[in-house]
Amino acid sequence: MIQTTNLSKEYGQATVLNIEKLDIPKGQSLGLVGNNGAGKTTYFNLLLDLIQPTTGFIKNNDIQVDQSEEWKPFTAAFIDETFLIGYLTPEEYFYFIGELRGENKADIDTFLEQFSEIFNDEILGKKKYLRDLSKGNQKKAGIVAAMIGSPEVIILDEPFANLDPTTQIRLKKILKALTNNKQVTVLISSHDLGHVTEVCERIVVLEKGNIIKDIKTSPETLKELEAHFTL
């Protein structure tokens, strides 16, 4: 589904990302792990064509992302709060995203019903703007919005950070369900090794922009990762 070839990103002298090859097949759930500055967000930004690669390219479903925009209809992402429109209520934001993805109001209303557990009555019908919600609730709204319109590729940057324990568990359930039928490709980054090994079938470890581990998740993976990050 997603092929990365000779991709690098440099700012001045510093190389922040350098991936020779990374292929992610359709339906895979991939976890990106790495310390601060490892290049996780940079990779996502390149994948979403928000920054320009210095060399190389990414192909999303055979569409080179910096050449054509045809990848946008089937790709959705939530990187950070700048993906929210602060002066809209959550409902208005969901409808907005829905309209961009060709779904009408009724579709969205039905879609949102399945998330009532996650929303915990703190998001819908509260007559508050997104900018006035707490960080955790903003995150919930952003993650749910990234699932609108059945995208084939979902990109979530640190989805578990800022979420309360209950929501973390529920989110894991949702992410697992998403990839169960092998139709949706999910990319998430996380600092929480436990969560990411639980949700993802493949873990890629980045360090200073380079891939240094590429593991198929097994019961030993968590131990292996913990050992790797223990210095």
Q: Which stretch binds other proteins (CB under 8 A): 109-117, 129-137, 170-178, 185-193?
A: 129-137
Decide if residue 63 touches other proteins (CB under 8 A): no
**132 scored as a contact of other proteins (CB under 8 A):** yes
Among 101, 139, 140, 195, binds other proteins (CB under 8 A): 101
Please state the φ and ψ torsions of residue 178, each to the nearest 5 degrees: -60, -45
Name which position in 18, 29, 89, 190 contacts other proteins (CB under 8 A): 89
Q: Which of 22, 63, 85, 124 binds other proteins (CB under 8 A)?
A: 85
CA-nearest of 147, 123, 149 to 137 is: 123
Binding to other proteins by residue 131, rule CB under 8 A?
A: yes
**Is residue 73 a contact point for other proteins (CB under 8 A)?**
yes
Q: Which residues sit opposite 224 in a β-bridge?
A: none
> According to the 3-state scheme, what is the secondary structure of the chain?
CEEEEEEEEEECCEEEEEEEEEEECCCCEEEEECCCCCCHHHHHHHHCCCCCCCEEEEEECCEECCCCCCCHHHEEEECCHHHCCCCCCHHHHHHHHHHHCCCCHHHHHHHHHCCHHHHCCCCCCCCCCHHHCCHHHHHHHHHHHCCCCCCCEEEEECCCCCCCHHHHHHHHHHHHHHHHCCCCEEEEECCCHHHHHHHCCEEEEEECCEEEEEEECCCCHHHHHHHHHCC
Q: Assess 91 for contact with other proteins (CB under 8 A).
A: yes
Find the binder of other proteins among 14, 50, 169, 212 (CB under 8 A). Answer: 50
CB of 98 to other proteins, least distance (A): 9
Q: Which is nearer to other proteins, 128 or 182 (CB)?
A: 128
**Contact region with other proteins (CB under 8 A), list: 26-34, 72-80, 173-181, 207-215:** 72-80
Between 129 and 229, CB nearer to other proteins = 129
The yes or no reply on residue 94 touching other proteins (CB under 8 A) is no
Q: Does 96 bind other proteins (CB under 8 A)?
A: yes
Binding stretches for other proteins (CB under 8 A): 48-52, 72-73, 75, 77, 79, 82-89, 91-92, 96-97, 99-101, 127-129, 131-132, 149
